Chains A and B, each alone.
Chain A
Amino acid sequence: MANDREVLREIWDGKLPICFQLHQEDLMDIQQPDPFYVMVPRLSYFPLVTDKMKRHFLRYISQESADNEMWLDYNGQPLKWHYPIGFLYDLYCGHDPQLPWTLTVHFTKFPENILLHCPNKDIVEAHYMSTVKEADVLKHRGQVMSTMQKKDHNQLWLGLQNDKFDQFWAINRRLMESHGDNEGFKYIPLRIYSDEGICSQRLISPKNNDGSRKVIQQLLSELYPNKPDVKLRTHGILIPSDTPLQWLSEHMSYPDNFLHICLC
């Protein structure tokens, strides 16, 4: 069970300052809009924190584009709304951190082959809940999520959406418990991304064959036997190589219950 509560709190409180700028092509007004600055939780998703920013830019763009779906890019790289914000920052800026993170806002030329559509927040919720379920299948064969009530599922989502740590963790702690006589999960929900953003997900046990707990160093030599120098980054830090996977999963997973880790 997760009991290093301070760590959970630190991770939860992680925020990023973001500077949004309207793409010049979408600008219809003779007046340049001011950039829009905001602090956003690293653990959140862009569609949950961009309503105000969108309203700010709407009056500078054409009527037709105003009904289009808004999307974001960093340095020409479209940002996937269904990845947590902090993970996107680590992926594209982790090697060269720069704050505030300057992003471009678009209302035209939606990159259909790269981004999924997000017509409303229900889509974000559906994606989020589905990812939590997937994680629970890996950890507990899906038993925790399937025995929870609908209101528990809602509480998880609302806790995340409204940035309420206690509300969220009152439910999430049940997803972080080990079952049976096992110390640890069946498998660790873990996605590792290359710097092109290609995601690799494998069945990873929190234990070695001899029953000892598996640490990052052992995971790396299992997954990348030919690359002795690889490092992993999440929540803006490089993960120490002696960190046990079970601890990492309990304390540094995103609210969707997955570890989202950048390879570097």
Chain B
Amino acid sequence: MGDEKPDDISQTETSNSENVKENEQKENGESGKTDKVKVDILLKATGNAPIMKKKKWTVDAEKPIGWIIEFVKKYLKLEPEEKLFLYVNQTFAPSPDQVIRNLYECFGSDGKLVLHYCKSQAWG
């Protein structure tokens, strides 16, 4: 799945969805969830941020935004002290503890949630 081009203006290459590896051990209470819902997210660079080769990812809907930020930082090999900001609708920066599912339900379209990332505050 996921090999059709998204029908918006994005400059996506033909990127297949791929699971973001869940290497980290879960130590906090989320493990009780039985229905593992996954959602598609599309990560777009803005401002001076490097572009990610793979933009479309499938992630566990219960993951918080802070987890996505760490994932992108790791993928782009940013230094730990470098900042990364994520925006929804190119308007607001959700709180790092907001879960993907809430954002997907309210701001997702065409079956995915678009997140813009940048290294400085873009839409302050």
Looking at chain A, what size class is its interface with the partner chain? 20 to 34
Say whether, besides A113-B28, A199-B98, A133 and B106 are in contact (CB < 8 Å): no
Provide the residues of chain A in CB contact with B91, threshold 8 Å: 133-134, 137, 142, 145-146
Question: Which B residues, 88 to 109, have Cβ-Cβ distances below 8 Å to chain A?
Answer: 88-89, 91-99, 102-103, 105-107
Say whether, besides A113-B28, A200-B102, A134 and B94 are in contact (CB < 8 Å): yes
Provide the residues of chain B in CB contact with A146, threshold 8 Å: 91
Say whether, besides A113-B28, A199-B102, A201-B105, A134 and B96 are in contact (CB < 8 Å): no
Provide the residues of chain A in CB contact with B103, threshold 8 Å: 201
User: Which of A82, A113, A134, A199 is within 8 Å of B92, CB to CB?
Assistant: A134
Q: Is the interface of B mostly helix, strand, loop or mixed?
A: loop
Q: Is A28 an interface residue (CB 8 A)?
A: no
Give chain A's interface residues, CB within 8 Å of chain B.
80, 82, 113, 116, 126-127, 129-131, 133-134, 137-138, 142, 145-146, 187, 191, 196, 199-203
B92 touching A202 by the CB < 8 A rule? no
Provide the residues of chain A in CB contact with B28, threshold 8 Å: 113
Provide the residues of chain A in CB contact with B96, threshold 8 Å: 116
Q: Is the interface of A mostly helix, strand, loop or mixed?
A: mixed
B106 touching A203 by the CB < 8 A rule? yes
Provide the residues of chain B in CB contact with A129, threshold 8 Å: 124
A202 smallest CB distance to B (angstroms): 5
Give chain B's interface residues, CB within 8 Å of chain A.
27-29, 66, 88-89, 91-99, 102-103, 105-107, 121, 123-124
Provide the residues of chain A in CB contact with B89, threshold 8 Å: 137, 142
B106 touching A202 by the CB < 8 A rule? yes
User: Which of A126, A134, A145, A202 is within 8 Å of B105, CB to CB?
Assistant: A202
Provide the residues of chain A in CB contact with B107, threshold 8 Å: 137
Query: In this complex, what residue of A is CB-closest to B62?
Result: A198
Query: In this complex, what residue of A is CB-closest to B93?
Result: A130
Provide the residues of chain B in CB contact with A137, threshold 8 Å: 88-89, 91-92, 107
Provide the residues of chain A in CB contact with B27, threshold 8 Å: 113
Provide the residues of chain B in CB contact with A130, threshold 8 Å: 92-95
A134 touching B88 by the CB < 8 A rule? yes
24 A–B contacts from the bound complex (CB under 8 Å): A113-B27, A113-B28, A116-B66, A116-B96, A116-B97, A126-B121, A126-B124, A131-B95, A133-B92, A134-B88, A134-B92, A134-B94, A137-B91, A137-B107, A142-B89, A142-B91, A187-B106, A191-B102, A199-B98, A199-B99, A199-B102, A200-B102, A201-B103, A202-B102
Say whether, besides A80-B97, A113-B28, A137-B107, A201 and B92 are in contact (CB < 8 Å): no
